[in-house]
């Protein structure tokens, strides 16, 4: 089917398989649309052929059709054989005769699926890799083989412990199907989608340009996502690291109030970042009930940023610098702690940064003379913040759009991805500490002039984060 | 998700100019300040309908937002303020130029003007700045520090705006335009252009004043030097004069130059017209022309930069809009024809037939693997006739034939299916075939329930069991003859139950023992006794001793074969590799916990510890001498700690030492162990349900610090346990 505009030809794909193997989930994941069709564990959930078109740069390139599952392939094969009888005609003709039968017969569901296969360029045969290889699967492949269309088997649930991937591959190889794709719609491996398209490309030569365009587009989008997510995290970290509240030395009540205020500001900022990330990855409110493999639930972090339990959960040691009466996570900083020019120089700050930090030190001197101290967010909270958000970003990048399971139990394995749990925090964050004007948390801060230094630091930090987040997870 | 409904192929309108993009940036800054994007579906729809790429949609959306007019006004204010500032600066430069010329030429009657000094005064700074600008632009493009003047003007413009109108919208506009206009692409050209314009104005002012003064007053020009020679000066003068001469101005010739050297007062100078014209010419050639060229170049570059400005779509403020503006995929909808709904015929439900009398029972496995415990399953008193496994079409036919020709005819047929598989029409077809072909009643044994429970949450498990029941009933099996029994994990209890269902006259073995709860009470007493002996939190050895004591209670009764060992799947304890056995047992106990408790960290730890210590207890009962060996104990402690989830370990390590000891973990594990022993022989769903009911929802975690608290808590637990067990009845 040629594209109207003369671009690459449009590819029509039928997604078929035994009932309840994850066909609809596969289509959901490929289209990033969590509301396509219906997914449940019951047989014959999908009853109709439903289609969707993948857009690349706005142009429709690939049509995907989700079909009802094949429930009784053995019966269908017998029926086809009886239809053929003793004649010596091609199987494809027999199948067309079968499809021409009046609707409402015992194999109407199968008929819909097969009709779609005949109308498509390629069929993706989805298999639950946890099932054994049974006679009914062989019969299904037999039927598909008679439809005269290229078939790409897709093994689903390959990340599960029960998956029998090797068994399936061997069996498929025996019937000469070597281009087998693996997928797991619950735990999405970043590269498995690309490999699926690549396998399709080997079987469909005329559609090479289409699949190439699709692969390139997905890669671009993923890079864009990584980039944007990294910038969001970098913004968050700089805002929180640079934030400080001035508190009069003497008044205890005001100090507690300011503590609470700072905590509230930081929590809100974190929630903003979470919302932005969810938006970025196209998760909307309807999915919160089913956002399982994410470390958050209901779109919010369950544990409080400032509680010692949260720190322990991520294996972060609480610092000893918490002042008496202050909850963990905040540092009431006597000015002397930050006022060393040597430290600023050690940051490798440029002349300009040195100048501005001198300026800010000057301001801080004034503050101290007026009897104020600074209230800032402590290092371990920054680590926790970084670890949690990195966790979330990584989970979002890896997660498929079809999962419906419930809570994860621990965050430790994933949090190991953050290298800042025990290692020193990156320079840019340390630099942000010296520039309270970089923080946008205070409503009044921010001013009108853009702060060029902040942009530079933010971009560097974003690059670091992109390295961590963008690395595909190592999967055996 | 945006719905792409209309004309997907219409060409995008060309409305995205620089001003529109600037507005989009302002909207982005506004949304960032707000914290979340504005929620205006009408704007989003218009953006989607405009059908361009992401950038044009973002621009369209920005234009359609309700805040757009205010932002545009603010941007317009800023623009006009900057223009005003620029105009003021131009005027200032003009005046400064005129003043400079005036100053350089000196007051009337002061004597001669030092030509070269005048020239350098007028043009020196300008040339220097021009060269600096060139160097910076060539060697460090992208640095906006090239022109201080430019940034001064812009700053002035911003001050104006702040002073005239201040408000949040203004602030946003300022920040946005600051980011764009001072950014690397446009900023450097804009600032340079402003700077060049100002210098040009200055030079024009100079020129104007110069022409006026030279025209209306009489000046003498001379030159003098201390260290340079006359020849050098003449050469310099001629070099300077060359291009000026080419333009048509009259320049002094060498004699005039030589003659103009100042030797003393009262000298007569000639050639003042030529010098004058030379001065003017130099100003034009070395001042106005280069600056003019530079201005043209930067102006052209600026125009191109403005036209080529594109939004940076990786900025988070833009990237997060992609989800709502650009569809990944467009649904096509349902494509198959509408079919008449098939009326579900009311099928008569088959009555349950009592399976009576002696005779073999045929068993056939439908798409299941042979269970680990052997095939056919060892049920006391049942004589199985194995019909094999039906995996494909050929197998199915053979099975049916074999059943028809079996001699003696079986008194019942049992079809074994897997709960982990999805019940489909093919299975239903086979079951119907068997029902029709056999005269004896047909039973469905649904196995692999454990695997299903491991895979799916509770709600789905129940749904799946219900689906299988429905399928079986539709195929003609009586509802009472659909039995959920896990052939992979047969317990004595489940065997007895199955045997009874397959024929009441079968030999079912010894009747089940009444569950008196006697042992549980004793076990809890044991726990309290041990607790009263603990001064601080018990270590691994003490806890293992407690578990061994508890296990001995049940062991004495059963006299030998410990059913609880098979419940917990403790086969043999390998002294050399304690970790693995402990892990298996711990996992097993955790697996027995109901979902709610599994998610609770406290009970998760209790399950792990309970399982591990049960393993140790089992080994202790088998070979107490081996356990007493010291190295094994040391390994055990470490293995246990490694096993427990971090939370528990963290609590222990962080040590609220010195405070009241916390026996909760030890008591949890021991009581869980005791309850499991009490429930041994039942199937796992029952165990799960009873545990769920027995362990209450304790909102506040009060640490159990002494024997009295332990006693109180255990009494509570026992009451709930008994109640739950009573609900389950004597036998499930």
Q: Which two tokens stand for residue A79?
A: 């029926």
**Residue A140's pLDDT band (cuts 50, 70, 90):** very high
What residue has token string 């030379």?
B278
Do A240 and A163 lie in a common domain? no
Q: How many domains does chain A have?
A: 2
Whole-angstrom Cα distance, residue B53 to residue B327? 11
Q: Closest Cα to residue B430, out of B469, B391, B485?
A: B391
Q: Which among B175, B328, B369 has CB closest to A33?
A: B328
Which chain B residues have a beta carbon less than 8 Å from that of A281? Answer: 323
* Residue A356 covered by a domain: yes
Q: What is the pLDDT of residue A155?
A: 92
* Residue A475 covered by a domain: no
* pLDDT tens string A194-213: 889 999 999 999 999 999 99
Chain A contact probe: residue of B329, B457, B596 with most A CBs at under 10 A = B329
Do A386 and A238 lie in a common domain? yes
Most confidently modeled range among A281-290, A413-422, B134-143, B633-642: B134-143
Whole-angstrom Cα distance, residue B419 to residue B144? 70
User: Is this structure's pTM higher than 0.80?
Assistant: no
Q: What is the pLDDT of residue A152?
A: 93
Q: What is the pLDDT of residue B90?
A: 92
* pLDDT tens string B390-422: 888 888 888 888 888 877 778 888 889 998 888
Q: Which among A4, A31, A44 has CB closest to B329?
A: A31
Which chain B residues have a beta carbon less than 8 Å from that of A20? Answer: 422
**Of the candidate ranges A402-411, B98-107, B603-612, the one whose mean pLDDT is the lowest:** A402-411
Q: Render B246-276 in DSSP notation, one character per residue.
A: HHT-----HHHHHHTB--STT-----HHHHH
* Residue A63 covered by a domain: yes
Interface contact flag, B1 A35, Cβ < 8 Å: yes
Q: Which two tokens stand for residue B685?
A: 């769903």
Interface contact flag, A19 B424, Cβ < 8 Å: yes
**Of the candidate ranges A124-128, B4-8, B653-657, the one whose mean pLDDT is the lowest:** B4-8
Interface contact flag, A449 B179, Cβ < 8 Å: no
**Is the pLDDT reported for residue A395 higher than 90?**
no
Which chain A residues have a beta carbon less than 8 Å from that of B35? Answer: 268, 272
**Is the pLDDT reported for residue A305 higher than 60?**
yes
Chain B contact probe: residue of A32, A135, A318, A405 with most B CBs at under 10 A = A135
Sheet with B329-334: list strands edge to edge. Answer: A181-182, A151-156, A122-128, A11-17, A59-66, A50-56, B329-334
Do A242 and A188 lie in a common domain? no
- Judged by DSSP in three states, B238 sits in helix
The 8-class DSSP code of residue B283 comes to I
**Of the candidate ranges A11-15, A367-371, B621-625, B628-632, the one whose mean pLDDT is the lowest:** B628-632
B721, with CB counted inside 10 A (0-12, 13-18, 19+), is buried
Q: What is the pLDDT of residue A143?
A: 92
Which chain B residues have a beta carbon less than 8 Å from that of A5? Answer: 9
Q: Which among A43, A224, A235 has CB closest to B319?
A: A224
B270, with CB counted inside 10 A (0-12, 13-18, 19+), is middle
Interface contact flag, B332 A275, Cβ < 8 Å: no
Domain range spanning residue A293? 224-469
Calculate mean pLDDT across residues A360-366: 63
Q: Which two tokens stand for residue A8?
A: 């690459």
* pLDDT tens string A4-55: 556 788 999 999 999 888 898 888 888 877 777 788 888 888 888 999 998 8
More confident residue, A103 or A270: A270
- In this structure, is the dihedral angle defined by the CA atoms of residues B93, B97, B103 and B104, taken in order, positive or negative? positive
Q: Closest Cα to residue B324, out of B116, B96, B54?
A: B54
Q: What percent of chain B has pLDDT over 90?
A: 5
**N- to C-terminal Cα distance for chain A?**
39
Interface contact flag, B319 A134, Cβ < 8 Å: no
Chain A contact probe: residue of B333, B426, B460 with most A CBs at under 10 A = B426
The partner residues of B415 in beta bridges, in order of sequence, read B364, B444
As for the ipTM of the complex, it is 0.72
Interface contact flag, B158 A448, Cβ < 8 Å: yes
Do A123 and A263 lie in a common domain? no
Q: Which among B162, B392, B456 has CB closest to A134?
A: B392
What residue has token string 């055996």?
A476
Q: What is the pLDDT of residue B572?
A: 53
Q: Which among B53, B335, B647 has CB closest to A51?
A: B335
* Residue A476 covered by a domain: no
Q: What is the pLDDT of residue A286?
A: 46
Calculate mean pLDDT across residues B1-12: 36
Count contacts between A and B (CB, < 8 Å): 199
Which chain A residues have a beta carbon less than 8 Å from that of B597? Answer: none
* Residue A474 covered by a domain: no
Q: Which among B52, B391, B460 has CB closest to A135?
A: B391
Whole-angstrom Cα distance, residue B379 to residue B491? 10
Which chain A residues have a beta carbon less than 8 Å from that of B319? Answer: 224-225, 227-228, 280
Which chain A residues have a beta carbon less than 8 Å from that of B433? Answer: none
Q: What is the pLDDT of residue A12?
A: 94
* Residue A71 covered by a domain: yes
**Residue A63's pLDDT band (cuts 50, 70, 90):** very high
Residue of A nearest to B421 (CA): A131
More confident residue, A316 or A161: A161
Please report, for the domain that includes residue A21, its CATH number.
3.40.50.300
Interface contact flag, B425 A75, Cβ < 8 Å: yes
The partner residues of A419 in beta bridges, in order of sequence, read none
**φ and ψ at B151, to 5 degrees?**
-70, -30
For B415-433, give the secondary structure using H, E and C.
EEEECCCCCCHHHHHHHHH
Domain boundary among A203, A235, A250: A203
Do A233 and A197 lie in a common domain? no
Which chain A residues have a beta carbon less than 8 Å from that of B456? Answer: 41
Do A172 and A56 lie in a common domain? yes
Interface contact flag, A53 B319, Cβ < 8 Å: no
**Residue B249's pLDDT band (cuts 50, 70, 90):** confident
| CA B246 to chain centroid | 71
Q: What is the pLDDT of residue A120?
A: 94
Which chain A residues have a beta carbon less than 8 Å from that of B429? Answer: 72, 74-75
CA distance to partner chain A, nearest, from residue B50 (Å): 12
Strand duo A151-156 + A122-128: pairing: parallel
* Residue A209 covered by a domain: no
- Per the prediction, chain B carries an average pLDDT of 76
Interface contact flag, A41 B460, Cβ < 8 Å: yes
More confident residue, B465 or A421: B465
Chain B contact probe: residue of A10, A133, A449 with most B CBs at under 10 A = A449
Q: Which among B314, B337, B422 has CB closest to A43?
A: B422
**Residue B561's pLDDT band (cuts 50, 70, 90):** very low
Interface contact flag, A72 B599, Cβ < 8 Å: no
Q: What is the pLDDT of residue B9?
A: 36
**Of the candidate ranges A112-116, A148-152, B497-501, the one whose mean pLDDT is the lowest:** B497-501
Q: What is the pLDDT of residue A475?
A: 36
More confident residue, B475 or A450: B475
Whole-angstrom Cα distance, residue B688 to residue A212? 52
Residue of B nearest to A56 (CA): B328
Interface contact flag, A41 B422, Cβ < 8 Å: yes
Whole-angstrom Cα distance, residue A381 to residue A421? 10
Q: What is the pLDDT of residue A360?
A: 58
CA distance to partner chain B, nearest, from residue A412 (Å): 9
The partner residues of B330 in beta bridges, in order of sequence, read A53
CA distance to partner chain A, nearest, from residue B289 (Å): 34
Residues 6 or more apart whose Cβ sits within 8 Å of residue B118: B104, B105, B279
* pLDDT tens string A105-139: 888 889 999 999 999 999 999 999 988 898 899 99
**Of the candidate ranges A184-188, A277-281, B633-637, the one whose mean pLDDT is the lowest:** B633-637
**Is the pLDDT reported for residue A141 higher than 80?**
yes
* pLDDT tens string A71-81: 899 999 999 99
Q: What percent of chain B has pLDDT over 70?
A: 76
* pLDDT tens string A220-276: 888 888 888 899 999 899 988 888 777 776 666 666 777 788 888 888 888 888 888
* pLDDT tens string A403-456: 433 223 234 444 445 677 777 788 888 888 777 777 777 654 445 555 667 778
Q: What is the pLDDT of residue A473?
A: 44
Burial letters A149-170, b for 16+ CB under 10 A, else e: bbbbbbbbbbbbeebbbeebbe
- Judged by DSSP in three states, B251 sits in coil
Residues 6 or more apart whose Cβ sits within 8 Å of residue B300: none
Q: What is the pLDDT of residue B11?
A: 36
Interface contact flag, A58 B8, Cβ < 8 Å: yes
Which chain A residues have a beta carbon less than 8 Å from that of B332? Answer: 50-53, 63
* pLDDT tens string B164-214: 777 777 777 877 887 777 766 787 788 888 888 999 999 999 999 988 988
Which chain A residues have a beta carbon less than 8 Å from that of B455? Answer: 130, 160, 162
- Per the prediction, chain A carries an average pLDDT of 75
**Of the candidate ranges A45-49, B233-237, B305-309, B628-632, the one whose mean pLDDT is the lowest:** B628-632
Which chain B residues have a beta carbon less than 8 Å from that of A48? Answer: 334-336
Chain B contact probe: residue of A55, A56, A58 with most B CBs at under 10 A = A58
Are B616 and B550 contacting, i.e. CB atoms less than 8 angstroms apart?
no
The 8-class DSSP code of residue A288 comes to G
Count of helices and strands (H, E) across chain B: 31, 8
* Residue A390 covered by a domain: yes
Residue of A nearest to B424 (CA): A71
Are A55 and A103 contacting, i.e. CB atoms less than 8 angstroms apart?
no
Chain B contact probe: residue of A3, A31, A41 with most B CBs at under 10 A = A41
Interface contact flag, B178 A449, Cβ < 8 Å: yes
Interface contact flag, B599 A162, Cβ < 8 Å: no
CA distances from B29 to A29, B22, B26, B80, B617 (A): 32, 11, 5, 21, 66
* pLDDT tens string A454-475: 778 888 899 988 888 776 543 3
The beta-strand segments (E) located in B63-212 are 113-114
**Is the pLDDT reported for residue B385 higher than 80?**
yes
Do A228 and A190 lie in a common domain? no
Do A62 and A120 lie in a common domain? yes
* pLDDT tens string A307-356: 666 666 665 655 544 332 233 344 444 333 333 333 333 333 344 444 55
**Is the pLDDT reported for residue B61 higher than 80?**
yes
Do A319 and A399 lie in a common domain? yes
Do A422 and A458 lie in a common domain? yes
Q: Which two tokens stand for residue B662?
A: 């916390």
Whole-angstrom Cα distance, residue A362 to residue B461? 67
Q: Which two tokens stand for residue B231?
A: 């020849």
More confident residue, B198 or A387: B198
| CA A311 to chain centroid | 24
Do A232 and A146 lie in a common domain? no
Q: What is the pLDDT of residue B347?
A: 63
Residues 6 or more apart whose Cβ sits within 8 Å of residue B104: B113, B118, B121, B122
What is the phi-psi region of residue B380: left when phi exceeds 0, alpha when psi lies from -120 to 50, beta otherwise? Answer: beta
CA distance to partner chain A, nearest, from residue B507 (Å): 36
Do A174 and A287 lie in a common domain? no
- Judged by DSSP in three states, B152 sits in helix
Interface contact flag, B429 A407, Cβ < 8 Å: no
């Amino acid at each position: 089917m040629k594209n109207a505009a003369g671009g690459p030809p449009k590819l029509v794909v039928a997604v078929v398989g035994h009932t309840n193997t994850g066909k609809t989930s596969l289509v959901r994941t490929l289209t990033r649309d969590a509301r396509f069709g219906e997914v449940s564990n019951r047989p014959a959930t999908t009853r109709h052929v439903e289609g969707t078109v993948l857009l690349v740069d706005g142009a429709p390139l690939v049509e995907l059709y989700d079909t009802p599952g094949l429930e009784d392939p053995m019966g269908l094969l017998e029926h086809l054989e009886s239809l053929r009888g003793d004649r010596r005609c091609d199987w494809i003709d027999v199948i067309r005769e079968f499809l021409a039968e009046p609707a409402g017969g015992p194999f109407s569901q199968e008929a819909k699926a097969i009709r779609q296969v005949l109308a498509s360029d390629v069929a993706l045969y989805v298999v639950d890799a946890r099932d054994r290889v049974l006679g009914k699967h062989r019969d299904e492949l037999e039927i598909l083989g008679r439809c005269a269309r290229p078939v790409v088997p897709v093994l689903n649930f390959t990340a599960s412990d029960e998956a029998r991937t090797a068994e399936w591959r061997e069996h498929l190889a025996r019937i000469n199907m070597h281009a087998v794709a693996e997928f797991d719609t619950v735990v999405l491996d970043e590269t498995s989608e690309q490999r699926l398209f690549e396998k399709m490309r080997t079987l469909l030569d005329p559609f090479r340009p289409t699949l190439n365009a699709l692969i390139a587009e997905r890669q671009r989008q993923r890079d864009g996502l990584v980039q944007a997510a990294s910038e969001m995290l970098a913004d968050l970290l700089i805002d929180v690291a640079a934030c400080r509240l001035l508190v009069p030395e003497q008044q205890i009540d005001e100090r507690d109030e300011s503590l609470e205020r700072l905590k509230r500001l930081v929590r809100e900022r974190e929630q903003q970042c979470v919302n932005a990330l969810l938006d970025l990855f196209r998760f909307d409110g309807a999915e919160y009930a089913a956002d399982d493999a994410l470390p958050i639930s209901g779109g919010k972090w369950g544990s409080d940023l400032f509680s010692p339990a949260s720190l322990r959960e991520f294996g972060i040691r609480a610092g000893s610098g918490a002042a008496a009466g202050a909850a963990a996570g905040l540092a009431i900083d006597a000015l002397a702690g930050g006022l060393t020019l040597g430290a600023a120089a050690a940051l490798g700050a440029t002349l300009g940064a040195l100048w501005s930090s001198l300026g800010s030190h000057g301001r801080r001197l004034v503050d101290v003379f007026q009897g104020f101290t600074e209230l800032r967010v402590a290092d371990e909270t920054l680590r926790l913040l970084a670890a949690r958000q990195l966790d979330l970003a990584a989970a979002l990048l890896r997660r498929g759009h079809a999962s419906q399971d419930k809570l994860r139990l621990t965050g430790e394995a994933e949090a190991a991805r953050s290298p800042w749990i025990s290692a020193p925090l990156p320079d840019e964050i340390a630099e942000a500490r010296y520039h309270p004007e970089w923080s946008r948390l205070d409503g009044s801060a921010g001013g009108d002039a853009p702060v060029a230094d902040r942009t530079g630091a933010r971009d560097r930090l974003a690059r670091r984060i992109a390295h961590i987040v963008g690395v595909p997870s190592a999967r055996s | 998700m945006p719905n792409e409904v209309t004309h997907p192929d219409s060409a995008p309108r060309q409305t995205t100019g620089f001003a529109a993009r600037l507005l989009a940036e302002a909207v982005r800054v506004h949304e960032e300040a707000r914290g979340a994007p504005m929620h205006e579906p009408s704007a989003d729809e218009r953006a989607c309908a405009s059908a361009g790429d992401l950038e044009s949609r973002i621009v369209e959306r920005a234009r359609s937002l309700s805040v757009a007019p205010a932002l545009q006004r603010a941007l317009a204010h800023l623009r006009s303020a900057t223009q005003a500032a620029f105009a003021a600066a131009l005027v200032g430069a003009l005046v400064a130029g005129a003043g400079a010329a005036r100053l350089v030429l000196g007051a009337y009657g002061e004597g001669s003007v030092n030509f070269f000094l005048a020239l350098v005064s007028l043009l020196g700074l300008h040339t220097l700045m021009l060269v600096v600008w060139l160097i910076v632009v060539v060697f460090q493009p992208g640095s906006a520090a090239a022109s201080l003047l430019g940034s001064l003007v812009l700053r002035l413009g911003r001050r104006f705006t702040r002073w005239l109108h201040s408000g949040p919208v203004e602030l946003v506009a300022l920040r946005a335009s600051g980011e764009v206009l001072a950014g690397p692409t446009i900023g450097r050209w804009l600032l340079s252009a402003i700077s060049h314009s100002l210098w040009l104005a200055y030079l024009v002012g100079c020129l104007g004043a110069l022409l006026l003064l030279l025209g209306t007053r009489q000046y003498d020009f001379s030159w003098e030097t201390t260290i340079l020679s006359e020849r050098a000066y003449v050469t310099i003068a001629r070099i300077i004069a060359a291009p000026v001469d080419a333009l048509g101005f009259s320049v002094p010739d060498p004699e005039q130059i030589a003659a103009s050297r100042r030797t003393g007062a009262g000298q007569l100078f000639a050639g003042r017209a030529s010098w004058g014209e030379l001065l003017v010419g130099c100003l034009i050639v070395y001042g106005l022309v280069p600056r003019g060229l530079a201005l043209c170049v930067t102006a052209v570059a600026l125009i191109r930069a403005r036209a080529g400005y594109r939004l940076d779509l990786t900025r988070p403020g833009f990237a997060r809009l992609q989800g709502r503006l650009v569809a990944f995929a467009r649904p096509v909808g349902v494509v198959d024809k509408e079919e008449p709904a098939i009326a579900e015929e009311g099928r008569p439900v088959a009555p349950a037939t009592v399976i009576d009398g002696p005779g073999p029972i045929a068993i056939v496995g439908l798409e299941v693997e042979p269970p680990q415990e052997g095939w056919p399953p060892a049920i006391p008193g049942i004589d199985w006739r194995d019909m094999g496994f039906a995996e494909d079409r050929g197998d199915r036919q053979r099975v049916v034939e074999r059943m028809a020709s079996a001699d003696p005819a079986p008194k019942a047929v049992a079809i074994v299916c897997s709960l982990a598989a999805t019940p489909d029409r093919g299975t239903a077809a086979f079951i119907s075939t068997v029902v029709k072909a056999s005269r004896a009643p047909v039973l469905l044994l649904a196995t692999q329930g454990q695997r299903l429970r491991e895979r799916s949450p509770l709600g789905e498990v129940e749904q799946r069991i219900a689906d299988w029941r429905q399928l079986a009933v539709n195929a003609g099996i009586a509802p009472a003859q659909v039995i959920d029994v896990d052939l992979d994990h047969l317990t004595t209890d489940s065997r007895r139950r199955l045997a009874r269902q397959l024929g009441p006259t079968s030999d079912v073995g010894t009747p089940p023992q009444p569950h008196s709860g006697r042992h549980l009470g004793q076990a809890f007493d044991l726990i309290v006794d041990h607790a009263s002996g603990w001064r601080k939190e018990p270590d691994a050895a003490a806890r293992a001793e407690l578990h061994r004591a508890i296990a001995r209670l049940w062991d004495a009764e059963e006299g030998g074969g410990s059913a609880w060992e098979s419940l917990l799947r403790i086969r043999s304890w390998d002294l050399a590799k304690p970790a693995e056995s402990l892990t298996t047992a711990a996992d097993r106990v955790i697996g027995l916990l109901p979902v709610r408790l599994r998610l609770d960290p406290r009970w998760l730890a209790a399950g792990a510890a309970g399982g591990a210590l049960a393993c140790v207890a089992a080994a202790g009962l088998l070979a107490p001498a081996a356990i007493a060996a010291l190295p094994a104990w040391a390994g055990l402690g470490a293995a246990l700690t490694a096993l427990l989830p971090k939370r528990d370990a963290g609590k222990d390590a962080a040590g609220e030492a010195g405070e009241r000891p916390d026996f909760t973990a030890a008591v949890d594990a021991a009581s869980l162990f005791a309850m499991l022993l009490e429930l041994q022989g039942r199937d796992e769903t029952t165990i799960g349900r009873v545990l769920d009911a027995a362990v209450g929802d304790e909102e506040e975690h009060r640490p159990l610090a002494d024997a009295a608290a332990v006693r109180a808590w255990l009494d509570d637990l026992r009451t709930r346990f008994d109640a739950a067990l009573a609900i389950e009845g004597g036998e499930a």
